[in-house]
Amino acid sequence: MSLSMGACPHAWRHHLQHRGHMWATSPAFRRQLFLLRSLAPTCAHGGRASSSSLQVHAMSAAAGPVYEADAEAVVRRITPPLDRARHKGQAGKIAVIGGCREYTGAPYFAAISALKVGADLSHVFCTKDAATVIKSYSPELIVHPILEESYSVKDDERESVSSSILAEIAKWMERFDCIVVGPGLGRDTFLMDCVSNIMRHARQANIPTVVDGDGLFLVTNNIGLVEDNPLAILTPNVYEYKRLVQKVLNCEVNEENASEQLTALCQKIGGVTIMRKGKADLISDGKKVTQVSTFGSPRRCGGQGDILSGSVAVFSSWARHFLLSNEQTTEKSVNPMVLGCIAGSLLLRKAASLAFEKNKRSTVTTDIIEFLGQSLEDISPAGR
């Protein structure tokens, strides 16, 4: 738990007091609470069920109900105000574990997105080869060149190198509000072993963990790393989801039964939240299935999932601290990890939409990152 926000949520309590107890009993608050709770049932394409769409809705209901999240209300609700009394770190400290010889873009996209959404500090733990490259993309990121791949470690040094990597990252771990494991990590066996240790350590320290990209490759082959961990979020794309379903449920992906299968997957793993990315992002913690289907962009350039993982890390931390600070007034059954996924999904989609409006077919991931700020501002103005 982070020293700044997690262990000491006074700043958030202060923010609530600042907004006042009147706010807690006001119609506006009750309406937002209702919006948050009522992830109202919709038809498959995401609109409210009308008589003409009832058939579609009934079909999706037959395969297990999917609820369209009121994602804008969620974003507004969990985004903290820019309070002048707060100090650096209180809006979130995020770390990305990823970045190797092949991939330097993915960890950069995830880490810079966390900052652009509103986190105060964003770290990257990557291999030595990747570090200078990632640093050169942005002076905003704090880059730790501590990971090693097999080719750079002698066989008889593996154990000691692995221990010193864990010791180095352990020094930092308690400070993070959330870590993102996997963007651009690669699949080197030695690296995977080290990252498994890092994930176990994060779990012991109760640090929420978003698992994406090659982190999902690791977890799919070692489900114990996330089993029964309510602070774990998995964000699989179509291939990653397919591999998870095959491994955990021992069957193929069934589109007709998508929500039931997702629920079963969450339940089988136990406790985790999964966001299945696609045309609509399907989110479940094994209790119900929520979707975000706001249209984003028709461009499918690589890296959008990385923006999403960095954004989800920030929003789930915000949601967690918001709920912790609202013990009296907030519905206990709301899962902050689910709220984080809903908010991250919406923000990425809004930013992708604005970027596409401007850049059309030439839209790339950095163009989308440029619009994260405006997208959040449109939903939850900073001057509020």
Ligand X SMILES: NC(=O)C1=CN([C@@H]2O[C@H](COP(=O)(O)OP(=O)(O)OC[C@H]3O[C@@H](n4cnc5c(N)ncnc54)[C@H](OP(=O)(O)O)[C@@H]3O)[C@@H](O)[C@H]2O)[C@@H](O)CC1
Ligand Y SMILES: Nc1ncnc2c1ncn2[C@@H]1O[C@H](COP(=O)(O)OP(=O)(O)OP(=O)(O)O)[C@@H](O)[C@H]1O
Considering only residues 261, 263, 335, 345, which one is a binding residue for ligand Y as defined by CB under 6 A? 345
Q: Which tokens in the block code for residue 69?
A: 């999240």
Q: What is the dihedral of CA 95, 98, 101, 104, to 10 degrees?
A: -60
**Of residues 106 and 226, the one with the C-beta less far from ligand X:** 106
Residues 245-264 that bind ligand Y (CB under 6 A): none
216 contacts 44 by C-beta, under 8 angstroms: no
Considering only residues 92, 107, 186, 213, which one is a binding residue for Mg ion as defined by CB under 5 A? 213
The verdict on 303 binding ligand Y (CB under 6 A) reads yes
Q: Coil, strand, or helix at residue 105?
A: helix
Q: How far is CA 383 from CA 14, 81, 84, 319, 320, in A?
A: 18, 8, 12, 20, 23
From the CB of 185, what's the least distance to ligand X, in Å? 5
Q: What is the dihedral of CA 143, 89, 311, 244, to 10 degrees?
A: 70
Per the document, the length of the chain is 384
Distance CA 5, CA 264 (A): 33
Considering only residues 304, 311, 317, 380, which one is a binding residue for ligand Y as defined by CB under 6 A? 304
**Of residues 140 and 252, the one with the C-beta less far from ligand X:** 252
From the CB of 130, what's the least distance to ligand X, in Å? 10
Residue-wise over 256-277: b if at least 16 C-beta within 10 A, else e?
eebbebbbbbbebbebbbbbbb
Residue-wise over 127-141: b if at least 16 C-beta within 10 A, else e?
bebbbeebbebeeeb
- Residues whose CB falls within 8 Å of the CB of residue 225, separated by 6 or more in sequence, listed in order: 196, 199, 200, 203, 218, 219
From the CB of 137, what's the least distance to ligand Y, in Å? 16
Residue 184 near which of ligand X, ligand Y, Mg ion, none (CB within 5-8 Å, type-dependent): ligand X
**Of residues 235 and 294, the one with the C-beta less far from Mg ion:** 235
From the CB of 161, what's the least distance to ligand X, in Å? 22
The verdict on 276 binding ligand Y (CB under 6 A) reads no
From the CB of 375, what's the least distance to ligand X, in Å? 20
Q: Which residues bind ligand X (CB under 6 A)?
A: 103, 105-106, 183-185, 213-214, 237, 239-240, 242, 302-303, 305-306
The verdict on 237 binding ligand Y (CB under 6 A) reads yes
- Per DSSP bridges, beta strands 232-234 and 142-147 are unpaired
From the CB of 345, what's the least distance to Mg ion, in Å? 14
From the CB of 236, what's the least distance to ligand X, in Å? 8
Q: Which tokens in the block code for residue 127?
A: 């291999």
Single out the segment in contact with Mg ion by CB under 5 A; choices: 139-147, 282-290, 299-307, 354-362.
299-307
**Site residues (vs ligand Y, CB under 6 A):** 213, 237, 277-279, 281, 296, 300, 302-306, 308, 345, 348-349
